[in-house]
Amino acid sequence: MKIEKVVGDLILLVLDNHEPLKKIGIDQDKIFVKVEGYDENGMWIHHPGFLVPNLKDENKEKTKKIVASILIPWNFIVSIAHFPGAEGFDFPSPFEQHIGFN
C-alpha cells in the first residue's frame, strides 16, 4: 500500500495529542475524512462546511460556510485506515457519522 492510493478516498484517521487541532474543529481522536492530497507537511483533508467570517454583508449572518482543504500535520497522525473497494463507502460515511467535523 502506498499513500498516494488514499487520495480522493474516504479514510479513518487516528490522531494523538490533537489538542491544537480543536481550534479548527477537530475534537475527536478518530475521524473519517476525504483525502484531498498530501505533502511533506501532512495530509490535506476536505472540509465541506468550514465556518469563516462573513465579510461582505454586515446585516446578515456573522459567519458563513465554505468548502476548505485543511492540513493535518503528520505528527498528529498515529494511524490511517483505508478501505479500498469497499462498496458504498462514499461521502457521507456509512457509519452515519459526519465526516471529520460536526
Question: What pLDDT, in 10s, does the model give residues 42-80?
Answer: 999 999 888 888 877 666 778 888 899 999 999 999 999
Burial 61-74 (b: 16+ CB within 10 A, else e): eeeeeeebebebee
Whole-angstrom distance, CA of residue 92 vs CA of residue 27: 19
Residue 87's pLDDT band (boundaries 50, 70, 90)? low
Question: What pLDDT, in 10s, does the model give residues 22-39?
Answer: 988 899 999 999 999 999
Output the pLDDT for position 70. Answer: 95
Output the pLDDT for position 100. Answer: 53
* Residue 27: Cβ within 10 Å count: 13
Q: What is the model's pTM?
A: 0.77
What are the structural domains of the chain?
Answer: 3-82 (2.30.30)
Query: What are 16's three cell numbers?
Result: 494523538
